[in-house]
Structure 1
């Protein structure tokens, strides 16, 4: 709830968390998404601060065999500008390509509103190339950017094993 008090967060996110009931609903949506395989959401923790969550990264995976999914994230105001968002997006990206390689995941999209320059920088720093401008449509009042990252075809099916010498 603390992170959602930030006006920048309220301007950028679709779902607002304003009280305990909203927070419980948000957590329930994350759990239900994981249980049914449509959303994999992870807390971002800054060990240099106080180990409290300072953000979230999520993989919105539409369906097995679709070949594409979307990455989303947010960072609390107190953690911005320290490089945590690109690190978290990069970690999620590696995990997603490894975890869903056998399902055919080959592309991840990162979408943000056109005026969100910080998200544009996070996308680029995380290896997501600008792909196109998306026209505004509810609930977003402004045009958006779609950034894309393709799976590395040179990696084994499980890139986490690429460095395993056993």
Structure 2
């Protein structure tokens, strides 16, 4: 199996995520598809917070040769949520910094342990890069599901049976 450069894989995930977000009608960006599920705005907010509060500091510490512990990430929305476009710009800026850190690290340093996770054990740069990509893809999938529910309605077990007016 041919593998591509991890930074390129992260960029590909970003393209999918942003394309999905761009598919949302403006009026639905803040709408939860079902009670307790995140809106597209909340998904973006969560991903931006995790990138800025967790992944970027871990990469910066790795560049300095330090080891960090994994810290709890704040809730989904900050106290004063920024407008969607500003939040997206913040996400892009944080991601650009992360990619710069990754591209600046020699590949032989990617296997160096940068922190210990309570479940996964020793985490290196390569693991963190894969996790960054997967976290973005998870957000993409969640946003795509929300888009489908908001624009087409529920289906399967979650669907409301049609009435005679729906036929």
Larger radius of gyration: 2
TM-score, reference length from structure 2: 0.23
The structure with more strand, counted as a fraction of residues: 1
The structure with more helix, counted as a fraction of residues: 2
TM-score, reference length from structure 1: 0.23
